[in-house]
Amino acid sequence: MSKKASIHDVLTGEHYISGNEAIAEGCLAAGCRFFGGYPITPSSEIAERMSRRLPQVGGVFIQMEDEIASIATILGASWAGRKSMTATSGPGISLMMENIGLGAMTETPFVIINVQRAGPSTGLPTLVGQGDVMQARWGSHGDYELIALSPNSVQEAFDLSIEAFNLAEKYRTPVIMLTDESICHMVEKLIIPTKSKIKIENRKKPTGSKKNHLTFKPDADMIPPMAAAGEGYNVFVTGLTHDTKGYPVITPEAQEILVKRLCDKILLNEEKIRLTEEYMTKDAKVLVISYGITARSAKGAVNLARKKGIKAGLLRLITIWPFPTKLIEELAKKVDAIVVAEINNGQIVKEVREATRKSVPVVLSSKLGGTVHTPKEILAKIEEVKKK
Amino acid sequence: MTRTEIRLCGFGGQGIALMGKILGAAVSIFEKRKSVTTQSYGPESRGGASACNLVISEEEVDFPYVLAPDAFICMSKEAYTTHIDSLKEGGWFFYEENLVPVDDRMKKAGHIYSIPATAIAEKELGKKIVANIVMLGFFAELNDYIDQKAILKSVIEFVPARFRELNEKAFKTGKNYAKKVKKQEAKK
């Protein structure tokens, strides 16, 4: 839209584009300069736009032979010092799981865009779903934590793409943008700010002697500075349990120290990472919790309920993982009931029940994919649980 | 909360998706209101069914999909058969008169307008491909929902610079046809 913006940089200006295109621009604005991927509906427009845009900004785009190879390339690119990403959906994200674990174990910053479609398996390739929420958390084997974000508009798809890279760099972790077909295929206005207004976070670099550098020695914030391969520092990287040097140490003691830190650096920073939106929650008696596309209908439902005199409010989760357990625990004390609206058979609802410790009824408004809740459908649940 | 829904349908290759984006951007960028454009996704391709939907609101659009359109712009027989029943009672119905064989079902519309957009594009402008822009000009002149100047600005923004003149002409041609229709209506 904006004729002034240079194609060689951030496309500052007003645009009327899809969520997928906004994500591509957001990732570029965040400083992403490497994309390794394998196009899959409904995420293909991200790969398409990146293949055109990355060469314009001096980056590299590779289409690999499959998703397993794709995610391997972005780990490698990250260790070479580039901000890297991939975009996929359903069957693709399943194939990437092994190396997401490698990313967590090796504390490699990268971003995966998962444009959720309905599964399992090939499912509904071109239609919406939110069934990958639990997979995003623990789809790879072993104990780890990562960060997952869920936008509810084209603008937020852009903004959170920047946030995803910033969080990946800051916490040295894979970040999953857990978006959905609806958000990514809908077209809305996007405002891209000037480059100077975009806040960019970069990974910490080691400052000490190159010779004595320990690849995985954490600072007080639990996060080790990261040297890129080829900068002269020691870089030992393995998927095996390792010590601060990066050398494999196959003992329960080393496992306790490493895995505890990998989890804690995310979990103990939950409040710092947390992004949520509260709408009419102050006096709410029925709280709706939702995320992504479903949260838009949930907001509509809250408005309809208020018109009928029902004190409803919305908590929109923008950060999905780490889960805002404490916040929900607090909100639950003030309400009579909670409705969780999501396009799956009940995934986040379980986390909400855990957080509320059964202090209030928590009911699920579910769809199994292919379509989005209408505000009236969520309203029906609100009416069902409100105290007579 | 005011909410307006517009549905545009035809077959692949007519530029239906572009029409939806042009109208959406007219609202969001040039009128500074809110809009969401969605497309039906599937194995559509040139010749297959194509549908594009637009929701307009003064506030943020919550549910982004069209359920019962206030206005329906129809450019193919198949689109008519599939979508005419979804039109809101008393809504606006615009159709390509050579491509859409209508029947009694369209009578639920409160306002009915037709134009041979494809023939006009081919004969008067020499390019069949701008039939969609002729239709947009026609719609712009007659509709109650989007400012016609905003639509024209949006057309200019979306079409390649070298085709700007042709598209402006197409838009104006559609508009003029609508003016004639309005005059005839006034006479009745």
Q: Which residues pair with A290 in a beta bridge?
A: A316
Q: Å from A188 to nearest chain B CA?
A: 5
Q: Which residues of chain A have a CB within 8 Å of the CB of B45?
A: none
Q: What token pair was written down for A335?
A: 């309400």
* Dist CA A291 CA A342 (whole Å): 7
How does pLDDT run across A258-271, given as a tens digit for each residue? 999 999 999 999 99
For B37, which of A14, A187, A300 is closest by C-beta distance? A187
- What 3-state class would DSSP assign to B63? coil
Residue B54 belongs to domain with CATH number: 3.40.920.10
CB A273 within 8 Å of CB A317? no
Query: How many angstroms separate the CA of residue A249 from the nearest CA in chain B?
Result: 51
Distance (Å) from the alpha carbon of A106 to chain B's nearest alpha carbon: 39
Question: Is the predicted pLDDT of residue B93 greater than 90, yes or no?
Answer: yes
Q: State yes or no: pLDDT of A3 exceeds 60.
A: no
Q: What is the pLDDT of residues A30-49, one digit of tens each?
A: 999 999 999 999 999 999 99
Task: Write down the pLDDT at residue A296.
Answer: 98
Which range marks the domain in which residue B21 is found? 3-187
> What DSSP designation does B88 have?
P
| Stretch 53-82 of chain B: residues touching chain A, C-beta under 8 Å | 60-65, 67
Percentage of chain A exceeding pLDDT 90 = 95
- A126–B24 CB contact, under 8 Å: no
pLDDT digits (tens, 9 = 90+) for A153-179: 999 999 999 999 999 999 999 999 999
CATH 3.40.50.920 domain locations along chain A: 276-385
In DSSP terms, A365 is beta-bridged to: A341
- For residue range A310-327, list pLDDT tens digits in order: 999 999 999 999 999 999
Residue A366: pLDDT over 60: yes
In tens, the pLDDT along A177-220 reads 999 999 999 999 999 999 999 999 999 999 988 988 999 999 99
* Closest by Cβ to A187, choosing from B21, B41, B60: B21
Say how many Å lie between the first and final Cα of chain A, rounded.
52
Q: Which residue, A113, A123, A103, is CA-closest to A38?
A: A113
Residue A305: is its pLDDT beyond 60? yes
Alpha-carbon distances of B153 from A43, A96, B75, rounded to whole Å? 30, 44, 23
**What pLDDT, on a 0 to 100 scale, did the predictor assign at position B46?**
61
Give the SS3 label for residue B156: helix
- Which pLDDT band holds residue A246 (cuts at 50, 70, 90)? very high
What share of chain A has pLDDT > 70, as a percent?
Answer: 99
Asked if the Cβ–Cβ distance from A374 to B37 is below 8 Å, we say no
**Chain A residue closest in CA terms to B43:** A126
Q: Is B38 on the interface with A (CB under 8 A)?
A: yes
Q: What is the mean pLDDT of residues B91-117?
A: 97
The CATH number of the domain covering residues in A276-385:
3.40.50.920
Q: Do B91 and B70 contact (CB within 8 A), yes or no?
A: yes
The percent helix, strand, coil of chain B (3-state, each to 5) is 50, 20, 30
- Please say if the pLDDT value at position B150 is more than 80: yes
What's the confidence (pLDDT) of residue B41? 64
CA distance A62 to A35: 6
The pLDDT of B136-154, averaged and rounded, is 97
Residues of A in contact with B3 (CB under 8 A): none
Residue A17: closest C-alpha in chain B? B21
Residues 159-198, chain A, touching B (beta carbon < 8 A): 181-182, 185-189
Residues near A226 by beta carbon (within 8 Å), at least 6 away in sequence: A107, A109, A172, A203, A204, A205, A206
Which pLDDT score is estimated for A372?
98
For domain A13-197, the CATH architecture is: 3-Layer(aba) Sandwich (3.40)
Mutation target vs A (from B63, B66, B146, B164; most A CBs, 10 A cutoff): B63
Mean pLDDT of A57-66: 98
Q: In B, which residues are within 8 Å of A299 by CB distance?
A: 60, 62
- Kindly indicate the confidence band of residue B48, based on its pLDDT and cuts at 50, 70 and 90: confident
A230: left (phi over 0), alpha (psi -120 to 50) or beta: left
Q: What is the pLDDT of residue B44?
A: 54
From the list A41, A42, A296, the residue facing B64 with the nearest CB is A296
Cα of B150 vs its chain's centroid, Å: 14
Looking at every residue in chain B, the average pLDDT score rounds to 94
Number of domains within chain B: 1
Q: For residue A343, give both structure tokens.
A: 């396009």
Q: What are phi and psi of A330, to 5 degrees?
A: -70, -50
The DSSP H or E segment spanning B102 is none
Give the ipTM. Answer: 0.95
CATH code 3.40.50.970 region(s) in chain A: 13-197
Q: Does A341 touch chain B (CB under 8 A)?
A: no
Q: Do the strands B3-11 and A362-366 form a parallel or antiparallel pair, or are they unpaired?
A: unpaired
pLDDT mean over A218-231: 96
pLDDT at res. A388: 64
Distance from CA of A372 to the nearest CA of B (A): 8
pLDDT at A291 (0 to 100): 98
> Could you tell me which residues come within 8 angstroms of residue B48 by beta carbon, excluding any fewer than 6 positions away?
B11, B12
Whole-angstrom Cα distance, residue A50 to residue A61? 7
CB contact under 8 A, A187 and B42: no
Is the pLDDT reported for residue A277 higher than 80? yes
> Is residue A387 very low, low, confident or very high in pLDDT (cuts 50, 70, 90)?
confident
Indicate whether B45 pLDDT > 70.
no
Q: What is the pLDDT of residue B43?
A: 60
